[in-house]
Structure 1
Amino acid sequence: MLRLTFGGAGLDTFRSTGIGDEYLRLFFPDPATGELALPVIDETGRWTYPDGPSKVRCSTYTVRRFDPVRGELDIDFVVHAGGVASDWAQRAAPGDSITLNSPRGLYAPPPGTQWQLLAADATGLPALSRLLEQMPPGLQTRVFAEVIDAAHEQPLATPPGTSITWLHGGNGVAPSGLDAVLRRVPLPAGPGYVWVAGEQKVVRGIRKYVRQELKLPAQCYELVGYWVAQHDWEARYEALDPAIRSRIEAAWESDRDPEEVQDEVDATYELVGL
């Protein structure tokens, strides 16, 4: 994990949501030409790509820390070979600039929540860490964090009523144990909340458990796929039958229940091996 601290006048207008898992997009210049391609927001609020989407080099990252007084923003990068963001972060030096957009947070336990279950792999550790640091007192919390091995464990805040279990595996080097472990955890009585961040297929399995077996209402969970294990996922998606891609895209653009849409899209991805 590599932490970079950003500063400068460009952060004067940055407004944090204050939510522990808030995220933003970083836009990177082309390493060969130095040119920066950005999307354009149309009148409906959607992104359009005048130069084509392949020209826009961006990645989504958690705001690990924002200090408005010092004008500093920290972002933790999982270092790996061949990633646009990872490569840039390892080359970054004082004076380099980056473009980012406004943040958005997802973590939102309903009022009256008595317990919560938090789980993440290495990519979710920055958000998990900040959530624990901002945890309200008295909330019973079980935490499961999965990293490659013991050397990758990090110090985490442990508010009263919180227990933390480290798992070793997953993260693109071994099968993940998060899904199996969460299914075995005895859950307390009363209203609860489940928050998970990790690899897309792992989160997909956990989502089945939360929706189909626990039958939690949508406001009682936030399950986010932070990355995809298949390096050729985008190419395989583009190679799908155009009718399948159109059906997926139409589902996302519809006004249907987003959770039902996610169920349908997940089922389609599983059917075609994505």
Structure 2
Amino acid sequence: TAFDLSSNSARLALGTFWVVIIIITSTYTADLAAVLTVNTQKEPINTLAELASQSDILPLIDFRGSPIPNNDDDNNDDDDDDDDDDDDDDDDDDDDGNDDESGKEGREEAENETATSGVYKDIASLMKNMPKVTDTVEARKLVEERNMAYLGDMSQIDYLVGEECNKFVRAKSVFNTGALGFIVPKGAPYLDAFNRIIVKLLESGILDEWHRKWWSHDGLTCKPEARLGTGKNLGVIYLAGPFFVFAGATGLGFLFAGAEWVWKTDKFQRVIAYFYFKFKKGKQGDT
């Protein structure tokens, strides 16, 4: 004979239990299939040391104002532009999934073949076969089409990432804390005046206001600090729903069991029989 539950409370609890088991099994199977079939993205490069410790992502810089000697250019090029080349904010890099940052001071040492630091020497070795880039558009194209990380001014990187954050991301760490600077000849008489003006601009908040004004126009589709999210494992809290349902069904089962126990007691049966016969007798008297 097949086993058959005669108690409604037991039927409710057992039926809910099997429903919960089916839900948990289906959820686990779906999660396992998702993990095995979806390609996981590599962790992005967030520091200069991480960029130097690998060889898949190559650093890329703008040759304008770079201390790296350029043999292809004439030595008689106009150097007056060096007096007013500016380095806005901290330096950074952007890359489609892998990136790093660099400030002006760090970049100069990184590009120098005589750098004494291990990180900077590794960066310099990665730059040996670096293509010559003289404008931001070309650098952006190389980052998008090739596996490269662009090292440049943070304000410039913020603008590029803000335009297309679905393609580019900005590194988290910044090892150069300089804000605004100008390249001037050594011992320039107006250097102190520049320093005082820059400090006043920083303290007054004018630079921040300009940054918000010109880096927040309608052309920017997302915030510069937006980054790709990282996946999270499903925890017990995400599977709490079936357990709550099972707990509720178990509670109802206890209530049904109590009601059934009361229903089957002799005293309760006598009370029910008394009212039943009284009602039936009254109904017969009316007829």
Q: Which has the higher strand share?
A: 1
TM-score by length of 2: 0.26
Compare CA radii of gyration and give the structure with the larger one. 2
TM-score by length of 1: 0.27
